[in-house]
């Protein structure tokens, strides 16, 4: 991993330099390179489910949502969880990438993100046993099959919570089929023009379900000890790499603890990260937590998950992204300056303030180009 000069987009150049004053060189706004992709700063839009698609298709909402974060200065703009099959969706309103129409709809958004000098990323996901629920503003309860829901699958026949769908335990044929679906979605992502894939192995969705002993009680080669439980994830990574070019980066979002006794631990997360690092196929661990068991006990606060990114970076020798209530420029800068992570992922803060990166650059006195259309706001 190395740094390089920030790529120049159509809104860069002399028109910006005339407005800039000599500034500092904060870590938050230093470029970073993963394989053949250079990112202009260390800010990544965290995947944020919008529950606004129809039949998995992106629409103007997705263009505006993702486009605003690109014009707002984020270095990497990532889609929400984008599902590899209709069966794998969290809700009937979730985004998908399993057909060419979805690919073409996303390609339009990718082109706009890139036109603003940001790097387009896609999170590929399968919801597993947490599929077929209603959207949050309708309560997030189970979506009954009789009412348009669908059968859900998982590593074992264990429901996420009382009253939720009991998944059908996946056969080896199911595992092979879902792996192939990840590969097909990867091909479509490449054709759409995405430059980074973030595989979703967190928050209680399918790949995380296999990793956690709370949801995986299999007695075959995909269960048992940590190596068995990690087998599916490792196979998906290897399969995705057959369609994802060597010059493009692959991230993995990992829940680094289940926050429940008997579940995944920090030590497990380090070992999983070591396994992935050893493959030479994964470039960054996107370090989140929780989501696999409603009994979890979390005490959130500013930067409360940073220690997971810091530990994995140090002990697994792989780049990491930190996420979770990193809401101020000073906190983000401290994390990077002290080598606790390589990227800062922001979700709710960027949801509320799409131009947070531009404002953070001003606060840290960094020479960052603003879109020419917004230059009048630079000194306001």
Distance, in Å, from the CA atom of 333 to the CA atom of 53, rounded to the nearest integer, reads 35
Catalytic residue among 205, 222, 304, 374: 205
State both tokens at 331.
């906190």
| Helices of type H across 121-251 | 172-192, 206-211, 226-229, 231-241
For this structure, is 205 an active site residue? yes
3-class secondary structure per residue, 159-173: CCCCCCCCCEECCHH
- The angle, 0 to 180 degrees and rounded to 10, between the axes of the packed helices 100-115 and 172-192 is 40
b/e map 254-268, b = 16+ CB within 10 Å: bbbbbbbeebbeeeb
Contacts of 293 (CB under 8 A, 6+ apart): 160, 204, 212, 214, 215, 258, 259, 260, 263
Nearest to 50 by CA among 6, 107, 95, 103: 95
Q: Which two tokens stand for residue 341?
A: 């992570």
Question: Which residue, chain included where needed, has tokens 């296999």?
Answer: 210
Q: Are 238 and 292 in contact (CB under 8 A)?
A: no
**CA 26 to each of CA 73, 189, 190, 275: distance values in angstroms, whole numbers, following the listed order:** 15, 33, 32, 32
Closest CA to 170 of 122, 251, 235: 235
Residues involved in catalysis:
205
């Amino acid at each position: 991993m190395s740094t390089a000069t920030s790529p120049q987009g159509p809104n860069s150049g002399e028109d910006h330099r005339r407005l800039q004053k000599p500034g500092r060189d904060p870590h938050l706004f230093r470029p970073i390179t993963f394989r053949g992709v250079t990112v202009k700063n260390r800010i990544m839009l965290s995947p944020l489910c919008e529950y606004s698609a129809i039949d998995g298709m992106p629409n103007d909402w997705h263009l505006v949502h993702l486009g605003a974060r690109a014009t707002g200065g984020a270095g990497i703009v990532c889609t929400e969880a984008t599902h590899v099959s209709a069966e794998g969706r969290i809700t009937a309103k979730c985004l998908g990438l399993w057909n060419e129409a979805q690919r073409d709809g996303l390609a339009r958004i990718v082109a706009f993100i890139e036109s603003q000098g940001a790097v387009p990323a896609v999170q590929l996901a399968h919801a597993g046993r947490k599929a077929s629920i209603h959207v949050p503003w309708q309560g997030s309860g189970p979506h009954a099959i009789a009412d348009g829901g669908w059968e859900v699958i998982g590593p074992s026949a264990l429901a996420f919570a009382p009253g939720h769908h009991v998944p059908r335990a996946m056969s080896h044929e199911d595992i092979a089929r879902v792996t192939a679906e990840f590969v097909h979605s990867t091909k479509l992502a490449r054709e759409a023009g995405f430059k980074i894939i973030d595989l979703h192995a967190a928050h209680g969705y399918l790949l995380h379900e296999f990793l956690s002993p709370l949801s995986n009680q299999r007695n075959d080669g995909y269960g048992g000890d940590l190596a068995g439980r990690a087998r599916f994830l490792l196979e998906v990574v290897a399969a995705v790499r057959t369609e994802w070019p060597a010059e493009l980066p692959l991230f993995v979002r990992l829940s680094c603890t289940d926050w429940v006794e008997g579940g995944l631990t920090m030590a497990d997360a380090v070992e999983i990260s070591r396994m992935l690092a050893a493959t030479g196929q994964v470039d960054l661990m996107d370090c989140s937590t929780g989501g696999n068991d409603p009994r979890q006990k979390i005490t959130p606060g500013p930067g409360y998950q940073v220690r997971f990114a810091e530990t994995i970076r140090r002990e697994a020798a792989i780049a990491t992204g930190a996420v979770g209530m990193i809401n101020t420029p000073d906190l983000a800068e401290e994390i990077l300056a002290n080598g606790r992570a390589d990227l800062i992922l922001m979700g709710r803060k960027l949801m509320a303030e799409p131009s947070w990166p531009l404002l953070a650059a001003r606060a840290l006195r960094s020479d960052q180009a603003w879109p020419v259309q917004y230059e009048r706001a630079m000194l306001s």
